[in-house]
Chains A and B, each alone.
Chain A
Amino acid sequence: MINELIIAPVAFPLIMALITLALWKYRNIQEIVSVVGAIIYFVLCFQLLNYVLNNGIQAVHMGSWDAPFGISFVADTFSALMILVTGLMALVVIVYSISSMRRPKQLCDMEQKQFQYAYYPLLYFMFVGISGAFLTGDIFNLYVWFEVMLIASFSLLSLGGKKLQMEGTFKYVTINLISSAFFLVGVGLLYGVAGTLNMAHLAQILPTIENQNIVTLIAVLFILCFGVKAAVFPLFFWLPASYHTPPVSVSAVFAGMLTKVGVYSLIRVFTLLFTGHLEFTHTILLWIGGFTMVVGVLGAAAQYDMRRILSIHIVSQIGYMIMGLALFTPLAIAGAIFYLLHNIIVKTNLFLISGMVHRIKGTYNIRNMGGLVNSYPFVAVLFLASGLALAGLPPLSGFWSKFFVVKAAIDIKHYFIAVVALMVGLLTLFSMIKIWNEAFWKKMPNEKCDSKKDVNFLSKGNIFMIIPVVGLLAITVLIGFFPETLFTIAERAAEELLDKSQYINAVLGGSL
C-alpha cells in the first residue's frame, strides 16, 4: 500500500501534466481534466497523511535498492502534512484558474495561445517538483526536485511575455541558479566528508566526523542556498521584484508554496543533519529570522501595489518560521510547522482575493481604488477576514501560529525576539489596514473614474474564483476555532523531527 501512496504525489501530477499537455488544443476538456485530476491528487495526498498518522514514518527505496545506496522516499508526519497542503493548493489554484485565466478580450491571440498551451501542464510539473522535494530522503535528489520545480516556475513566471514579467523572471532565474550552485557545492562537500547522500545515513555519520568545523562550514552553505530559496534576510530581494508580475493565480501558488519549500528544506536539514554545533548555526538562524521579520514588514509599508505589499509580507512571515526553527524546542518547531501551514493557506488566499479585486477594478494599485466595501461587501469581508488572519488577530489561525512561536521564545527566555515578533505582528496589521482603507473603505478617487466602471464581478463566469477563496477562508476559520487537531499533528511532527532515531530507523531499518 505504502509503495503506491508514497510515489503517488509525484507520479500522479506527472501523469496529469502529460495528459493536459496532450490535450492542449482542446481548452474546455483540458480544464475539466485538470480539475478532476486536482481533486484526485488532493485525495491521494490526504491518504498519505492518513497512512503516516496511523503507521508512523514510512520509507520506500526506489528500484528496491536498499538505503543508503538507492534513493529513498520518506514520509514522516512533517512531509505528509506539507504534501497535504500542496494537494490543497493545487486544487484551489486550478479551480480558481478556470475563471481567472480566461481573459478573452484583453489579450491578443498570441498570449492567449501561450496560456492555453502551457499553463496547466506547467502547473502540474511544478507540483511534481514540490511533492518530490517534500518526500525525498536523499540530499542530492532534493537538489533534482528543486530544479524540476524551478524550471517549471521559470516558465510559469514568464508566461505571457510582458516586459515587466521578463525583468522579474530574469532576476528570479539568476538568483535561483546561483543558489542552486551553492546547493550543489554544499552537497559535493557533504559527500566528500561523509561519503553518502542519504539523509538518514548522513545523520548517522556526521556526528562521528572528527573535523566538525567543516560540517559547520557546510551548514552555513546550506543556510545560504536554502535562504535564497526561502527569501530570508538579506537574500530576499528577488522576491518582491518578481512575484507581482505573472498572472495572479501563478503568483498565488508561488507565494504559497515556493518559498515554503525552502523553509521546509531548512527545517529538515537543520533538525536532521546539522545539529552538532547548535549555538553557532541556530544563533545565525535566530538573527536571520529576526531581521527577516522586521525588514519584510517595513518594506511593505512603502508599497502601494496590492500584490507587492503581499509579496514583501511573505518575507516577513518567513521570519517567524525561521525563528521557530532557531529556537529549537519542541514547542517552537511545532509552532513553526503550524505557522508554515497557516501561512500557505492564508497567503495564497490573499493573493487570490487580490486577483478578484483586480478583476473588479482593473488595477493592483490601491491608490486608484476605493469604495469596494459598498459595491462588493462580500469581497470586502473575504479580504478583511484573511488580512486579519495574516496579522494574527484571534480567533483566526494566525493568532495561534504566532502564539505558539512567541510562547516558545518566552519559555526559553528569548524575550527580545518575542518582542520583535509581537511588534512585527502589529506592523502587519498596519499593512493590512492600509490595503483595507485604500481599496475598500475610502471613496473612489474622483479623477480616475466613478464606481460605475466596476466590472460586474458576481457574474456566472467568475464563480470559480469565488468558490476556492471561500473554501480557503473556511479552513482558516476552522483552524482558528479548533487549533488542537492541527496542533497535535504538528507537535507529533516536531517530536519526530527532534528525535532523529525514528527517522533513521525508518529509512535504514536494521541494515546498518
Chain B
Amino acid sequence: MISLILSTATRILLPVLLLFSVFILLRGHQEPGGGFIGGLVGASAFALYTISNGISRARRMFPLNPNVFIITGLLMAMLSGILPLFFGKPAFTGLWTEFELPVIGPLNTPFLFDIGVYSVVIGVATSIIFTLKLKE
C-alpha cells in the first residue's frame, strides 16, 4: 500500500537524510559520529523510500547493486589496513598526508577506513531491506 502523505514526505526527507548521513560520517573524524551510524542513517533513508514507494521504484533509484557497496567498502577498509605495510609500518597504522581537503582536513587512512565502513553498512542494510520487502 502506498500512502500519498508518506511518499510526499519522503521526497523531502530523502535528500535531507542522505545529506545528514554524510555529515555524520565527516563529523565522526573528530567528534561523535562516524562511518557506522552515518551508514545507518543513509540506509534508513533508502528504507523509508522503499516503504513509501515500493520495491521496484526503490531498486530503480538505488544506484547500484547493494553487493557492490559491500565489496568496495570492505576493500577500502582492507586497503586502509594494509597500506601502512608498504611504508614499513605494522598494519592499521594511521598514515597522514600533507594534502589538505576542504572541510575534512589532511587526507588520511582512518578516514578511508570510515568511508569503507559507511559503504558496507549502506550496502548490507539496503540489501536486507530489499530482500525483506521482496518476500512480502
What is the interface of chain A, defined by CB distance below 8 A to chain B?
3-4, 7, 11, 14-15, 18, 21-22, 60-64
Contacts and interface: CB of A to CB of B under 8 A. Distances in A.
B106 interface: no
Contacts of A21: 67, 70-71
Interface stretch (B40-48, B53-61, B84-92): B84-92
A63 B94 CA distance: 7
B71 A4 contact: no
Contacts of B75: 15, 18
Given A11-B78, A18-B78, A3 B71 contact: no
Contacts of A14: 74, 78
Contacts of A11: 78, 81-82, 91
Given A7-B85, A11-B78, A22 B90 contact: no
Nearest to B92: A63
A63 B70 CA distance: 24
B108 interface: no
Contacts of B94: 63
B78 A64 contact: no
A3 B75 CA distance: 20
A117 to B, nearest CB: 10
25 contacts: A3-B85, A3-B90, A4-B85, A7-B81, A11-B78, A11-B81, A11-B82, A14-B74, A15-B75, A15-B78, A18-B71, A18-B74, A21-B71, A22-B71, A60-B90, A61-B90, A62-B90, A62-B91, A62-B92, A63-B90, A63-B91, A63-B92, A63-B93, A63-B94, A64-B93
A21 B81 CA distance: 20
A347 B93 CA distance: 40
Contacts of A3: 85, 88-91
A21 B92 CA distance: 24
A62 B90 CA distance: 6
Interface residues of B, number: 17
A12 B121 CA distance: 22
Contacts of B88: 3
B91 A7 contact: yes
Interface string B91-131: 11110000000000000000000000000000000000000
A62 B109 CA distance: 14
A340 B78 CA distance: 32
Nearest to B88: A3
Contacts of B91: 3, 7, 11, 60, 62-63
A128 B90 CA distance: 18
Nearest to A15: B78
Contacts of A4: 85
Nearest to B75: A18
Contacts of B74: 14, 18
A60 B71 CA distance: 27
Contacts of B93: 63-64
A4 B93 CA distance: 13
A21 B67 CA distance: 9
Contacts of B84: 64
Which 9 pairs show the lowest CB-CB distances between chains A and B? A63-B92, A64-B93, A7-B91, A62-B92, A60-B90, A4-B85, A3-B90, A22-B71, A63-B93
A15 B81 CA distance: 12
A15 B88 CA distance: 20
Contact of A64 (B67, B71, B81, B89): B89
A14 B89 CA distance: 20
Residue of A3, A7, A15 contacting most chain B CB atoms (<10 Å): A3
A110 to B, nearest CB: 14
Interface in B67-83: 67, 70-71, 74-75, 78, 81-82
Contacts of B70: 21
B71 A7 contact: no
A220 to B, nearest CB: 34
Residue of A15, A22, A63 contacting most chain B CB atoms (<10 Å): A63
A14 B93 CA distance: 19
Contacts of A63: 90-94
A61 to B, nearest CB: 6
Nearest to A22: B71
B67 to A, nearest CB: 7
A63 B90 CA distance: 6
B82 A7 contact: yes
Contacts of A22: 71
Nearest to B86: A4
